[in-house]
A and B are shown apart, each in its own frame.
Chain A
């Protein structure tokens, strides 16, 4: 075998080894979730179940179902709103610029990196106040949580759309202007029709981060509006819940984002790359 050939086999071998390591948690999740209680002793920890049962899944689903529903109520409208705001901002900041647009953009970007702990205490207070002023049930409920996610999602959504729109030739916009079309008309008939991929990236990105969020949810929601992550954490944190149910609940809470990842991983990747700025 040539040296280059041997090197290729070594690389492939190492990559396969890492695949095995990466999949260990998945094996544990699946195997444990199908085990009956009688097989819950440490000696059989890594064994396949001798009797496969979906009992743990049934119980986990019963406990988790309201949380899953809440997460959908949060993540679907939230990601659509984020995309709408992001596309408008991205369009203006790339194609219909005003003096100081770059400064505004940089100030937006900073919002992407701040640790949200830094706004959490006043945010709770603000939600309470806003709720009082407008007679809305913002604090403790899904609408308030959605609002928070949409607002703090503005930076990344703007960034993704802006970087996408930069690739549209300026001549196209100029031509539309010369034809007498205003800003909104140009947006509607020239820019929006080619925005499909950017919408996919942003919606997937926002859906995933809203679905997976825990920090905002624990600060801003109460028991009836807890999303899946908070409910899962409560299930898993209880000493009395058997491992099989915890694992089944963890899988259930991850299915929607996993489905998105498997079907639309390409767009998910692009969102990730945008998160690294121009890296």
Chain B
């Protein structure tokens, strides 16, 4: 009894948050799946919708637009995650031994993180304007000035690789963050360890290969998780750069139009459920891994 008296107040103090998370996160996720399993394809009519099982989940694959948005999402993810990881790592690598003005460099690489995708989307839409030749503005015009006309292309309007262009602003925005993560990782390697490796006859390159890179693995995993889950739900950036155009459609924008333009809750919920599942597949193992590591 005295033991209960000891911990009960704590539980009471957290209970509002437990209820809120229970309802708003888990309850609503469940509700969304429930909507996704009905035939409520009309928002206006007051009918609740019949249970149809996984029919919506299967039938959506026969829609061209869905296939397109999945393909776009994959291209975006590969370019964005790869780009931000490589650039962030490179920036951290260039700085890790300490360099004059490090604080200034870091502040500049990181500042895009403080701005919304909507605001940066405004300027990137201009920079990635698809006009070429005489009418070129933005980066295409800059390429012309630099004598690199062959680099001019359609950017996000390119029918095949437009989503690779869409990843450019995202890399610009997020690589500073990845740099900060890697920099903390580099600095977490004790100097004695590097020294010991040198004494054992490793050259600088081998010190990196054998000592530092293996110790950066947890950081790399965190970075991958963060970038991956941002990528799969990307929405603001796409809306800001190109609006609702099919040519840059991703699941999140498709869901948005399903809800607001097509007024089809069941379809919107189905797409939302797929977005959640795509993230859950790798977040849950990560959280379990992280919790185990924390307990050690």
- A binding-site residues for B, Cβ under 8 Å: 8, 11-12, 14-15, 18-19, 22-25, 28-29, 32, 42, 45-46, 85, 88-89, 91-93, 96-99, 101-102, 104, 106-111, 113-123, 125-126, 148, 151-152, 154-155, 158, 182-184, 208, 211-215, 218-219, 229, 232-233, 236-237, 243, 246-247, 249-251, 253-254, 257-258, 260-261, 265, 268-269, 272-273, 275-279
Q: Using a CB-CB cutoff of 8 Å, which residues 144-171 of chain B contact chain A?
A: 145
> A251 CB to closest chain B CB, in angstroms?
8
The answer to whether B291 touches A106, judged by C-beta atoms less than 8 angstroms apart, is yes
The answer to whether B240 touches A233, judged by C-beta atoms less than 8 angstroms apart, is yes
- In the complex, 6 of the A-B residue pairs with CB atoms within 8 angstroms, ordered by the A residue number, are A29-B123, A110-B25, A117-B233, A117-B252, A151-B21, A154-B17
> B106 CB to closest chain A CB, in angstroms?
8
Residues of chain A with a CB closer than 8 A to B13's CB: 88-89, 91-92, 96, 183-184
Q: Using a CB-CB cutoff of 8 Å, which residues 117-167 of chain B contact chain A?
A: 117-127, 131, 134-138, 141-142, 145
Query: Which of A214, A215, A279 contacts B222 (CB under 8 A)?
Result: A279
How many contacts A-B (CB < 8 Å)? 270
Q: A215-B236, A279-B181 are in contact. Are A42 and B131 (CB under 8 A)?
A: yes
The answer to whether B116 touches A273, judged by C-beta atoms less than 8 angstroms apart, is no
Listed from nearest, the 10 A-B pairs whose CB atoms lie closest are: A212-B116, A279-B222, A118-B276, A115-B233, A96-B10, A122-B31, A261-B114, A119-B28, A98-B7, A250-B122
Residues of chain A with a CB closer than 8 A to B138's CB: 28, 45
Q: 7 more A-B contacts (CB under 8 A) besides A117-B252, A215-B235, A229-B236?
A: A28-B123, A121-B268, A155-B21, A158-B17, A214-B236, A254-B114, A279-B222
Q: A22-B108, A115-B276, A183-B9 are in contact. Are A276 and B256 (CB under 8 A)?
A: no
How many Å lie between the Cα of A212 and that of B123 in the bound state? 16
Contact mask for chain B residues 66-81; partner A; CB cutoff 8 A; 1 contact, 0 none: 0000000000000000
Most A-side CB within 10 Å, residue of B28, B99, B120, B290: B28
> A147 CB to closest chain B CB, in angstroms?
9
Q: Using a CB-CB cutoff of 8 Å, which residues 12-32 of chain B contact chain A?
A: 13-14, 16-18, 20-21, 23-26, 28-29, 31-32
> A123 CB to closest chain B CB, in angstroms?
6
The answer to whether B28 touches A122, judged by C-beta atoms less than 8 angstroms apart, is yes
B177 CB–A CB distance under 8 Å: yes
**Residues of B within 8 A of A (CB-CB), count:** 103
How many Å lie between the Cα of A98 and that of B131 in the bound state? 62
How many Å lie between the Cα of A93 and that of B10 in the bound state? 8
Residues of chain A with a CB closer than 8 A to B271's CB: 117
Task: Please name the residue on chain B nearest to A95 by beta carbon.
Answer: B10
> B66 CB to closest chain A CB, in angstroms?
15
Query: Which of B10, B108, B226 contacts A275 (CB under 8 A)?
Result: B226
Task: Please name the residue on chain A nearest to B22 by beta carbon.
Answer: A107
The answer to whether B94 touches A214, judged by C-beta atoms less than 8 angstroms apart, is no
Q: Using a CB-CB cutoff of 8 Å, which residues 89-122 of chain B contact chain A?
A: 91, 94-95, 97, 99-100, 105, 107-122
Query: Which of B95, B115, B131, B185 contacts A15 (CB under 8 A)?
Result: B95
Contact mask for chain B residues 180-206; partner A; CB cutoff 8 A; 1 contact, 0 none: 110011000000000000000000000
The answer to whether B108 touches A113, judged by C-beta atoms less than 8 angstroms apart, is no
> B150 CB to closest chain A CB, in angstroms?
19
Residues of chain A with a CB closer than 8 A to B279's CB: 113-115
Residues of chain A with a CB closer than 8 A to B125's CB: 236
The answer to whether B17 touches A98, judged by C-beta atoms less than 8 angstroms apart, is no
Residues of chain A with a CB closer than 8 A to B17's CB: 85, 88-89, 108, 154, 158
How many Å lie between the Cα of A254 and that of B142 in the bound state? 25
The answer to whether A109 touches B287, judged by C-beta atoms less than 8 angstroms apart, is yes
